[in-house]
Chain A
Amino acid sequence: MAVKKRTKDLTFWQKIYLPEIAKGLALTFKNMVKPKYTIEYPEDKFIPPPSYRGRPVLVMEADGEERCVACGLCARVCPPLAIEVQASETEKEKERYPVKFEINMLRCIFCGFCEEVCPEEAIVMSKDYELAFTSREEAIYGKDKLLTPIDQLNDRIEFLRKYK
């Protein structure tokens, strides 16, 4: 076996090894008595900052309508093809709206591209990180689950206006 020369020679005390062990033990002991940062999840919940990218949701205006005009840019930009939009015509001024807006949460990677590309500020990343399903079908979120009142999303929208 080829013997490789050490790049750094150890000092005498390091060679004795026991002081080094003591140092290591001291370090772990310090950590043992340190306060813990763990959030005990189901009881205490983590409240993310506005920069957090949770489950993407559709912004619902005060009148109960979505902002989305079903332009399909989010579906186009979505790297894992999680979003499926079907547009239709509406009598309102915005002309088109999504009859179907589905996000497959099994595919979603929470990259936030949909939010970034959205010209209408209609899809934003919420603070919801509690996602669990028992079937593939359940993981496909339709408009009923995606539409979220705008007052719950204000701080994210503010964040986007500041930094996007």
Chain B
Amino acid sequence: MNIWEIIVITLIKILIVFTLLLLTVSYLVYFERKISAWAQNRIGPNRTGWKGALQPFADVGKLLLKEDIVPVNASKVVHTLAPVIALFVAFTTFAVIPIGPDIKLFGYNIQLVAADVNIGILYVLALTSLGVYAITFAGWSSGSKYSLLGGIRSSAQMISYEISMGFSVAGVLLLAGSLRPYDIVYSQSGWLWNAVIQPIGFITFFVSAFAETNRLPFDLPEAEPELVGGYHTEYSSMKFASFFLAEYANMIISGALIVTLYLGGWHFPWLESFGLAPWLVVAIQILTFIFKLAFILFFFMWVRWSIPRFRYDQLMNLGWKVMFPLSLLNLVWVAIVVMYIKP
């Protein structure tokens, strides 16, 4: 493969990932509404298209046609920049997440990842921490007390939970001995997923993922009863839609990350022993990844419609007094595993 071929292939991959991500995001909104309806014994959107299947497009159309309002007190540049950062972070993070093993197509050996970076996990952590800026900027630049409070809360929350997240990830890295997502996935082939080996780390990471994506029960930055709309109080039209997209894209990324780091990526236990054709194995593996991701996303929504929001002090208590020590504990445990149990 020469450099041009690599560029073309990568561009194609980016295009596919980007389109899929956008589509998935809009349908996530639809499923969010459906699942909330089911959990509350309702039916949910059912007017546009079959069972409301065209609802996302109606929503997008509506959002596009709305008037874009910028408050007088807003700092215009930052106000515009904030949603751009949010979107950028959300979409670029997906670049390093592999959704399947290598495949052979038209004589090329293609990796099912946009960029196989050997410090992929670091890249993810770096980008997600950038996401804080989007929210803080949005909160500060809107010139509204609700936005500001939302922004401040958000930065505090994200920084707090990033610590436990980082330590949880450290456990995974310790076990895999690599920062490359591919290696991490390969390190948990079979059924010995990280979730099984280090359950505490799994839980702390999972919870931190909720906090990082600002999902309930950690959606304090946009807590409606107290902050109107939090950092996106003063956003409308496509800018608001950008935040909305970013939130759901973040969800997908967190989900994909959880799958990659803890749930064995595309691995289907003992698939190799069935003696299937190689292309079938790959197909099953891709489906496995998608299924795992789908379950995690469903779980995100399921939790959202089951558990009430934390109070701010509870959130901080949980972050610093529970999650942080637990992730440390997990790290110790993993060290023990690496030293004595795993050869």
Contact = CB atoms under 8 A, between A and B. Distances in A.
Whether the complex brings A and B within 8 Å at their CB atoms is answered: yes
A40 B47 CA distance: 10
A115 B311 CA distance: 51
B7 interface: no
A37 interface: yes
B43 interface: yes
Interface string A34-61: 1011101000000000000000000000
A24 interface: yes
A38 B40 CA distance: 11
14 contacts: A21-B303, A28-B302, A28-B305, A31-B38, A32-B35, A32-B39, A33-B38, A34-B41, A36-B41, A36-B42, A36-B43, A37-B41, A38-B43, A40-B46
Contacts of A25: 302-303, 306-307
B137 to A, nearest CB: 32
Interface residues of B, number: 14
Interface string B12-42: 0000000000000000000000010011111
A27 interface: yes
Contacts of A21: 303, 306-307
Given A24-B306, A24-B307, A25-B303, A32 B42 contact: no
Interface string B38-62: 1111110010000000000000000
A29 interface: yes
A34 B43 CA distance: 11
A29 B302 contact: yes
Q: Residue among A25, A28, A31 with the most chain B CB within 10 A? A: A28
Contacts of B42: 36, 38
Contact of B39 (A28, A37, A40): A28
Contacts of B307: 21, 24-25
A34 to B, nearest CB: 6
Nearest to B46: A40
Given A25-B302, A25-B303, A32 B38 contact: yes
Nearest to A38: B43
Nearest to B42: A38
Given A32-B35, A32-B38, A27 B43 contact: no
B284 to A, nearest CB: 27
A40 B37 CA distance: 14
Contacts of B43: 36, 38, 40
A40 B303 CA distance: 28
Contacts of B40: 31
Q: Residue among A27, A32, A33, A38 with the most chain B CB within 10 A? A: A32
Contacts of A37: 41
Contacts of B35: 32
B168 to A, nearest CB: 16
A14 to B, nearest CB: 14
Contacts of B39: 28-29, 31-32
A155 B305 CA distance: 43
A28 B306 contact: yes
B306 A27 contact: yes
The 6 closest A-B pairs by CB, nearest first: A32-B38, A28-B306, A28-B39, A24-B306, A38-B43, A25-B306
B204 to A, nearest CB: 12
Contacts of B41: 31, 34, 36-37
B309 to A, nearest CB: 13
Interface string A1-43: 0000000000000000010010011011101111011101000
A18 B35 CA distance: 22
